[in-house]
Every structure is written in structure tokens, then in C-alpha cells.
Chain A
């Protein structure tokens, strides 16, 4: 379990690819620099989509938390 406290959470569980990534991008767009956004996704594709986009956009992927039926991604906006 991570002890990172997110500023915002995007619950994209149930959404098909690329929905979770687009939901995350939308939230990051509205966030302030330094804010941490948590994405909840149950799509395996997010395990590659989110790190790839984080690297491309220069945002830091702080952690990926593996939970029972989904993953939680913690991104800090650059």
C-alpha cells in the first residue's frame, strides 16, 4: 500500500481503452503543477498506456498500486 495522498482521483473502472488514459489526461489538464492525480483502472492496457504517456508528457509516475481487481496509478503533474 502506498501512503501517497492524491489531490484528485479519477475512477475509470469499467471504461474500455483508451477511456482511462483520456480520463487521466483530462484531469491532468485541469490540475495545477505539483498536484498528484490518482487513476483507478481495471484495464490491463493502462499498465502500458499510462507509463508511456507519463514519460511522453514529462509527468512523474510516482507509483502503481496493484489492488484486487484494478490498479491505482499515481501521477504528479510537472
Chain B
């Protein structure tokens, strides 16, 4: 019986496990590493960003921590001192705002992806431009136009596709929630990101033509000048990364 085991009435093995656990916790696993790169990512791009980060780590050996969330909240938190190296935003507006406020590295703002909109209707066969105006009384889910560029684009497209307003509109906090409303069966239709429905049967969605809405431009900007940050910023513009982004249902400039 060790001193510790006598102090705490527990079985020896359990005590040792707990002690070992706490030692590991305190020493942070005991592996000395540079701080991982921190990247704030718009929630709609999280899926692709996860793969990009994994590929980047595999290629360059630097771990990347992704912080998912809404671009609006990220901008707000960065203004109030959230420390991140890079922002992958859902729009142009917020990176430009951060740039104006002098919170970014000048000349590093660029468009990394162009979102596409899809009309998704899991219960139907091959929706098209007529679908919404022929769905009297149905519920269509879209992202909140005030919060998400996808929502704004969806609203513009809706005005064109359903001028008579034959459907009830419900708003998700972001395009992920709009998708969830349709997925759970609470809404019959959804104007969501093309990237989200890629895994669904092709007969259940219609790719909305880009002419029906303004482009959904997503910009990235570098906030801190570090060797690793610069490397990831460059990597995002590499042909490999662009290809991966396109594979996931986004266009690239």
C-alpha cells in the first residue's frame, strides 16, 4: 500500500489509474509541441475544413485546431480578443470589416470558395424550378437571411421561384439548421447548400442556377503573421486544396 492509497480508501489499481490520469492531464500528455494553428471556420465549411486541416497536417506536420461557428460571432469574438491565426468566413463583409479595423495582415484577404444553393426535397422525385410554386401549403426551410449569406441567396432565389408565396418559410439559424429541419421531416423542402446534399440521392435535389441569386462568396483572411499561419494560408490557395473544395460542392474563383 502506497502512501496515497492509504490516504484515499480505494483499491490500489483504481488509485494508480486515477493518479496516472491526473499526472498525464497536468503534464498535457508529456509531449512538447508548438501551439497548434487556430482557425475560425464558418459552420457551413466545417466538413471541408476538417479534411483540409488533416491533409495539411499530414503534409507539413503542423496540427490545426478548427473553431466552428457563425462568422458573425467569430468577428465579434475576434474584436474582443479571441486569438485565432486565420478566419474562413461565410461571407465577404465580415473579413472586410476586420480588415478595416486593422485586425488582419494587409493583403491577405481572398475568396476561397463560392457556395452553391440546392433545392432539396427528400420525399419527391427530381425537384426543379416549378417545385416550390407547386407546393401549396408546404414548409420550406432556409437559413436566416440576416445571419447567413446562404439565407440571403435562398431568399433571393425564392422571390424568383415562388413570387406568389405559396409556401411557408421557416428560418434556421444557419444553413446547417435549415438542412436539419428538412432532414427531421419538419419541413418538406429546403434551400440548402449544394455541399450538404451531395451525399443524398441525386433525384432528391436540384442545383439552383447561379443566375437566380448573387454569388455566395466566402473569404478567408490571415490575422497573425506566423510561419505556420502563412503556410496554411498558402496551402488553401494550392491546386490540391482547390480541388478538394470543388469536390465538396463548392465552386472556386
Bound pair (A, B): no
